[in-house]
Each structure stands twice: as structure tokens, then as C-alpha cells.
């Protein structure tokens, strides 16, 4: 199975360890990984700011890079959702359609395509799980507190396979952290307040690590944690699932 690894731009630049963990994890599961070197970004920053029209160049570049694989996997619910919902290429509509239907967020790929049932992972820490909205409400990686529907969570069932990990859920199980793309700078006050409140909720459980599936949310929470000199770390789920003794 040939898997094209899509590494969102801010992960490539600032959180390479998340990309490395994603790659190693998928390789352990027997996937053949390719990382198309000319990839850049999914175009979401422009589109969510109202300039979807400006993301056409990104779209074309994306299609050119990811046409030659069986699946595309990314460690980011938000970017995957954007590609699924908005990727378009007038010159190459079929290739774009293939990508939209074959791109997966990491945990859904592990759960739904690779059907992972056990993991050789060890992570002896107290971990709080942060549900990122786009993965949850957009990609349906887990049930949502607003709906009357059966409970499930793809990332949490994976975390439950990790030895030594103690999982703690915050009291507001799926409230947004306030990152929201450019919202984090244009609505700085509310954005930071939302982040502080999520952190407080996790702190009540005395977690050592706040884990999530979207680095953008984690980067925002990390920024607040560091500013207040907290010892709590943020980690992407790929890093945890890839941890061994």
C-alpha cells in the first residue's frame, strides 16, 4: 500500500518530530511511505479568511504532488477536512476527486483503513485528550456532545491500546480551544481566553501531557502554557502512538 504523506506547512517547519513520528508509525504498520517533496500547504489559511479564490495555486500544487499514491495521510484533521471539502482543480478534476476521497486523517486511517486493533506502544504518563473541532465535528473522528447518538472515539480507542498511559478527559469534552486559524490573531482576546479555559480544565485532572490530533490547536495551547511557565507539555497523538520503551 503506497501512502503519500501530507505534512502541513507549520508541522514541516516547526514540529518536524510530529511528521517523523507519523512516518515511523505508518512504516511500522507496513505502509510504503512517500513524501512528495514539492508539497506546501492545503490552502486552508487563505480559504478560511475568505480568500478561497487565492488557494487555487495551492490546490494545483497539491494535486500535482499527490496523484500517484493509493492513499494520502496527514497528521491533521483540519487540513484533511479542508482538502476533502474544498480541493478543486479545473485542469485535473478526476485527480482532485480521487484525492478528496482518498485522503485520511492519521487516526481514522489507522482505525478505518488499517483496522489497527493493537499497538506496541508504551507511554507511562497522565494524558489529557483534546478533541480538535475539525477532526471531530468535520471528519467525525468521534461522537459529539451535542448530538443524541452512540458514543465512540477513534483517537481514544487508539490511546487505550498504549501501555502505561492514563487517560483523563476534561469536563467540557469537546469545547474548542480557540485557535481557529487567523482567528487566533484577529480575535486575540477571545482566542487566548478560550485556550486558557481549556488548559484549566485539563489542569484540574493534573495531566502531564495534553495530547491532540491537530498541531495547530496544540501550538496555541503550548504558547499559553509556556507563557505561564507550566510544566504541562503538548504532544501530537502520533508521537504517543509511536513511543516505545
Partner 1 sequence: MSKSHAALAAEFTADENRTDWHDETLWWVRQKRDKAVQQIPEWEILRQWASAIKEHTLSKLDEYLAIFEREAISNGIKVHWANDATAHNEIILKIIKEHSISKIVKSKSMLTEECHLNEYLHQSGIEVIDTDLGERIVQFRGEPPSHIVLPAIHLKKEDVSETFHEHLGTEKGNNDPQYLTESARTHLREKFIQSELAITGVNFAIAETGGFVVCTNEGNADMGAHAAKIHIACMGIEKIIPKAEHLGVFTRMLARSATGQAITTYTSHFHRPRPGQEMHIVIVNNGRSRQLGREDFRNSLKCIRCAACFNTCPVYRRSGGHSYHTAVAGPIGSILNPNLDMKANADLPFASTLCGSCTNVCPVKINIHEQLWKWRQVIAEEGLVAPSKKMSMQVLGYILSKPSLYRLIGKTGRWVLRHMPLLVKFKSLNPWYKQREMPEAPSESFRDWYKKNRRS
Q: Is 3 in the site for partner 1 (CB under 8 A)?
A: no
Q: Is 205 helix (H, G, I), strand (E, B) or coil?
A: coil
What is the C-alpha separation between 62 and 64, in angstroms, rounded? 5
- In angstroms, give the least distance from the CB of 196 to partner 1: 8
What is the C-alpha separation between 39 and 195, in angstroms, rounded? 30
- In angstroms, give the least distance from the CB of 127 to partner 1: 20
- In angstroms, give the least distance from the CB of 166 to partner 1: 26
Beta-sheet strand order (sheet of 233-236):
166-168, 126-130, 209-212, 233-236
Q: Among 90, 185, 231, 245, indicate the residue that binds partner 1 (CB under 8 A).
A: 185
Q: Among 68, 94, 112, 188, indicate the residue that binds partner 1 (CB under 8 A).
A: 188
Residue number with CB closer to partner 1 (35 or 98) = 35
Residue number with CB closer to partner 1 (102 or 181) = 181
Query: Nearest Cα to 79, choosing from 54, 107, 105, 109?
Result: 105
Stretch 8-27: interaction string toward partner 1, x if CB under 8 A: -x-xxxxxxx-xx--x----
Cα dihedral 212, 150, 121, 175 in deg (nearest 10) = 10
Residue number with CB closer to partner 1 (122 or 200) = 200
Q: Is 55 helix (H, G, I), strand (E, B) or coil?
A: helix
- In angstroms, give the least distance from the CB of 59 to partner 1: 9
**Gap between the terminal Cα atoms of the chain:** 28
Residue number with CB closer to partner 1 (110 or 133) = 133
Show contacts with partner 1 in window 60-119 (CB under 8 A).
Answer: 60-61
Amino acid at each position: 500500500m503506497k501512502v503519500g504523506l501530507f505534512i502541513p506547512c507549520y508541522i514541516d517547519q516547526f514540529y518536524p518530530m510530529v511528521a517523523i513520528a507519523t512516518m515511523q508509525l505508518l512504516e511500522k504498520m507496513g505502509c510504503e511511505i512517500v513524501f512528495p517533496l514539492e508539497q506546501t500547504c492545503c490552502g486552508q489559511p487563505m480559504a478560511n479568511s475568505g480568500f478561497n479564490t487565492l488557494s487555487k495555486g495551492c490546490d494545483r500544487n497539491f494535486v500535482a504532488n499527490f496523484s500517484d499514491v493509493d492513499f494520502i495521510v496527514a497528521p491533521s484533521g483540519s487540513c484533511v477536512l479542508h482538502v476533502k471539502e474544498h480541493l478543486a482543480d479545473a485542469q485535473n478534476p478526476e485527480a482532485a476527486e480521487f484525492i478528496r476521497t482518498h485522503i485520511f486523517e492519521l487516526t481514522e486511517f489507522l482505525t478505518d483503513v488499517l483496522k489497527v486493533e493493537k499497538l506496541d506502544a508504551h507511554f507511562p504518563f497522565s494524558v489529557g485528550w483534546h478533541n480538535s473541532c475539525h477532526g471531530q465535528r468535520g471528519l467525525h473522528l468521534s461522537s459529539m456532545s451535542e448530538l443524541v447518538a452512540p458514543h465512540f472515539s477513534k483517537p481514544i480507542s487508539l490511546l487505550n491500546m498504549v501501555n502505561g498511559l492514563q487517560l483523563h478527559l476534561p469536563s467540557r469534552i469537546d469545547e474548542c480551544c480557540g485557535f481557529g486559524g487567523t482567528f487566533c490573531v484577529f480575535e486575540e482576546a477571545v482566542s487566548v481566553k478560550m485556550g486558557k479555559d481549556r488548559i484549566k480544565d485539563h489542569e484540574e485532572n493534573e495531566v502531564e501531557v495534553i495530547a491532540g490530533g491537530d498541531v495547530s490547536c496544540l501550538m496555541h495551547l503550548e504558547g499559553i502554557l509556556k507563557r505561564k511557565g507550566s510544566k504541562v507539555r503538548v504532544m501530537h497523538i502520533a508521537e504517543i502512538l509511536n513511543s516505545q520503551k
